[in-house]
Amino acid sequence: MIELTPLARPYAKAIFSAALEAGEATSIENELDLLGQAIQTEQIDKIIENPELSKTGTAAKLTSVFEAELSSLTKRLIDVLAENGRLNLLQAIFEIYQELLQEHNNQSSIDVFVVSNPSPESKETIINKLQALHGASANINFKEDASIMGGMFLKVGDETLDLSIRGRVKKLVNQLNF
């Protein structure tokens, strides 16, 4: 599968810049979240992939579906994406936009991957330690991933810290293979 992030980054930066100028950064984030989730549904995918619709027709149909929820900035983004055949980038644009907004607000986003949700006491300990390291405004999200087998895997921006059993096994295999 093709990596969409490099293709989505210029669009995300452009909409972020425009949203900051208009003072609508948070509302645009919500709109992009809505669109990112919507394009993953079968009904919206049918609109985007419909060969009978022109590029402008596809954009018009998509904006009409979400008419009440979208601002003029987001509608213009949809028009540009449709014109360039890039509506499939909406989810990636949303993710990059979120990163830009968090960076702008001096927040960091931390994903904690665990096999199963930790107990409330363990969760509180993890949150306190991560906030001590990365600031009290850090957004900490717990996600379940059975493939790590145990322990945890942390993702802070572009950095990762693998404290999982899967990571330790991989490290041991690499050491044994020289």
Q: Which domains does the chain have, with CATH numbers?
A: 5-103 (1.10.520.20), 108-176 (3.40.30)
Give 74-93 pLDDT, tens digit per residue: 889 888 988 888 888 888 88
- The phi and psi torsions of 141 (rounded to 5 degrees) equal -120, 130
Residues 92-114, mean pLDDT to the nearest whole number: 83
- Residue 164 pLDDT > 50: yes
Q: How far apart are CA 15 and CA 76, in angstroms?
A: 9
Q: How far apart are CA 148 and CA 168, in angstroms?
A: 10
- Nearest alpha carbon to residue 81 among 53, 62, 100: 62
Q: How far is CA 85 from CA 6, 28, 48, 56, 71, in A?
A: 15, 21, 9, 10, 21
pLDDT band at 121, cuts 50/70/90?
Answer: very high
Please give the model's pTM, rounded to 2 decimal places. Answer: 0.63
| pLDDT value at residue 1 | 41
| pLDDT value at residue 2 | 57
Give 30-72 pLDDT, tens digit per residue: 888 888 888 888 888 888 887 887 888 888 888 888 888 888 8
User: Which two tokens mark 106?
Assistant: 């001096």
